[in-house]
Structure 1
């Protein structure tokens, strides 16, 4: 569906400098390397790069339009729209898009579990209506406008992640696209390096609750005290979790190792037995959040249970794959924070008796002054949940030292330089009894370990 040149000018207060004015753009891009023919390229100024430098490359790749602050030189063919501030223009276009095509918006935030929960919600709601969801890591002030820009007339609900790296960022997004339902999963140390303290992280996440549309519902984790406290600023809220005060609750929980879990789902609209193919206690919590959203869309407990049973996790999030020589690989390599790292190690702990449990762990980034302590704590937990630790990154020595203090033998707690060395250290141990967890922050690119040790398809 996209937007036309005229609609963009009206939304942003910009002016058309050159090019055709009767063009409609189906897609929006902020990275010149990803531009597709017929798309609109938005030139953003960042701390490291200025998108205006890449306007010629975007046009060369087929951009039919350019939204910029400074008129480019020597650009032929593409419609050029000049605005005062391209970042603000993105938000203005998003607001205008939703004004013309209002849809319920389900927004998910939290320090860990956002993508999996977003996918769970989209999977549940998709049983009854067409869902448009944010893809990959399109969860920031650029990604959410891109997602909303590309809505289809057949879409009936939007499901998106609201991520942030600074205070006020979620508020800006919520002003442009006020959520009908806001889900807050947890508050942890992820991004604390940008914000300074866990209290500041909580305040930044609370912006989602404060920015809900009139009559909007806050879905809050009853088991996280900082999240539960956000109910004080919510006009309407519902609690989910394991604690007795949760309205959406899991009872009679049984963990089945890497095969998943089962539990009784308790809701105001009945109860049902759920089998979830995602391993770990934290996965049940994410499923409960999704269940709370589905209730608002008139699902009952049996319908939720049926949908949850068919859910398959997104790539590199708790994927169980077969490795070389029959080893089992837990591919959770997409990203890492202290909370998600702890949850992943608890899953590794569930490996069958007699297994060799190996944790291949990379640095957790963006932790600021909390980094050393956080890596010490994860190393200590690895020493108690794994039989072998292979650590990569700046903080690898700290994790290894902590693991050894927790009881791992010196020759079972290793520091390696990169993914290739991790594979070399791991390879002799790969057999049918080996269970390997691979996890680290996105910047560590530990998916390269998985690619080298998994059984070829």
Structure 2
């Protein structure tokens, strides 16, 4: 039997290694070494590999900038773009080469590789899982939402020296996408959070969404672990699609069961986790009632790789959460701002409105933007959110999104963020404002402006 890779070994490649992995040709010093990679010339760190991608703009234009900022090597599919100052590896296609390098980096890892997908909760579970696994061993996770065919290999290539476990978020915009990402990351633990109406314009029906997300468990090895939401019938049914061990989680159901004991004024939770390994009260870093379920998912990941329950609880509390997700701040005038502006779909929007309803306030306002890619159900789903806001006693301000029919549900419709800010003029202590919409809505700009008032 061959020697297993040392999990402490950094993901380093020489230019010659890269050429061999990608079928490329070295132009320059074949012994030069790179540590990690980036496709963004603005974020190049000394010693990295620069990967110029051809998208809206040709990334080859930025090779000189990347070299100036310290890239020791770069890929190039256009030899005319080769410059002095760093070693080039000429390849047929830089994106294909990036994927090849991601696979190579994965094969150097010897701990758990956790793949997380689902219509909602991916990033939160990723953050919590990083905290949980990190309580027992050095753990690396996807930055921001590096969850596609570019972000996944970059995550693997960015694994620091000494890392034991890696957590990889995986998004999908159609059937087959999760399988493609699994072919890069080869997860040993596969997590499916929930199946809901998100990206339905691209997938089709909710059954198609379930089919696509379930590719995660189909790709697991027989000695791997599938972590599935017992409270979602479509996810629970995925147990029949895998040969791996199945560990379930949920609110009051599953192998790892979460029961919310208390929701504090700042939306922090006290949750009872009941598991086959015992029971414990935890205070997860993620805020909002809906995150009790996500805490159970992260706990199941840790328990599934053999962690002690006490360490799981420590990790849940210590996790660092991504920005623009259930973040609470106070404006200069005393307004409580619930910033969940990173993205939105009907399920996460309902959860955010419920969280807003839990905040102690005399006036509660939800400033909402478009929920993108909902297809034929878009109008109905938007109006259902407006109806829920009305039911909860929340003032709705819909920004550039007539689909909410806000006026029909006691809310207001405005053309832009400035219009929403005008309606919030004079708000102060006693007012709580939720900001939530898909990224295209840009409601993070409203949060920044409101915080400064």
- Same fold at TM > 0.5: yes
CA distance in 2, matches of 1:73, 1:331: 43
CA distance in 1, matches of 2:82, 2:302: 52
Alignment of 1:416 onto 2:414:
yes
In the alignment, what sits opposite 2:278?
A: 270
In the alignment, what sits opposite 1:154?
A: 162
RMSD: 2.2
In the alignment, what sits opposite 2:44?
A: 35
SS of equivalent to 1:258: coil
Alignment of 1:325 onto 2:323:
no
Contact 1:259 1:277 in 2 (8 A): no
Aligned with 1:186 (options 188, 194, 212): 194
In the alignment, what sits opposite 1:437?
A: 434
CA distance in 2, matches of 1:302, 1:30: 39
In the alignment, what sits opposite 1:8?
A: 18
Aligned with 2:246 (options 237, 247, 253): 237
Contact 2:333 2:428 in 1 (8 A): yes
In the alignment, what sits opposite 2:387?
A: 380
Contact 1:383 1:404 in 2 (8 A): no
Alignment of 1:23 onto 2:28:
no
In the alignment, what sits opposite 2:423?
A: 425
1:179-212, CA deviations, whole angstroms, 9 ceiling, x for partnerless residues?
Answer: 1111110112222222222222222211111112
1:395-414 superposed matches below 5 A: 396-399=401-404, 401=405, 403-406=406-409, 408=410, 413-414=411-412
Contact 2:247 2:255 in 1 (8 A): yes
CA separation of 1:427 and 1:118: change in aligned 2, threshold 3 A: same
CA distance in 2, matches of 1:358, 1:19: 59
1:41-120 superposed matches below 5 A: 41-46=50-55, 48-73=56-81, 75-120=83-128
Contact 1:258 1:278 in 2 (8 A): no
CA separation of 1:152 and 1:387: change in aligned 2, threshold 3 A: closer
TM-superposed deviation, 1:251: 3.3
The number of equivalent residue pairs is 442
SS of equivalent to 2:425: helix
Q: TM-score, normalised by structure 2?
A: 0.91
Alignment of 1:449 onto 2:439:
no
TM-superposed deviation, 1:292: 0.3
Alignment of 1:371 onto 2:374:
no
Aligned with 1:258 (options 251, 260, 266): 266
Contact 2:134 2:315 in 1 (8 A): no
Contact 1:262 1:274 in 2 (8 A): yes
CA separation of 1:68 and 1:103: change in aligned 2, threshold 3 A: farther
Which ranges of structure 1 fall in alignment gaps of 5 or more residues? none
1:202-223, CA deviations, whole angstroms, 9 ceiling, x for partnerless residues?
Answer: 2221111111234110100111
1:295-374 superposed matches below 5 A: 295-311=303-319, 313-352=321-360, 355-374=362-381
In the alignment, what sits opposite 2:5?
A: none
SS of equivalent to 1:72: helix
CA distance in 1, matches of 2:357, 2:259: 22
SS of equivalent to 2:79: coil
TM-superposed deviation, 1:382: 1.9
TM-superposed deviation, 1:312: 5.1
Contact 1:44 1:68 in 2 (8 A): no
In the alignment, what sits opposite 2:6?
A: none
Contact 2:190 2:216 in 1 (8 A): yes
1:112-131 superposed matches below 5 A: 112-131=120-139
CA separation of 1:327 and 1:200: change in aligned 2, threshold 3 A: same
1:355-393, CA deviations, whole angstroms, 9 ceiling, x for partnerless residues?
Answer: 201001111122233322221222222222243111113
SS of equivalent to 1:346: helix
Q: TM-score, normalised by structure 1?
A: 0.90
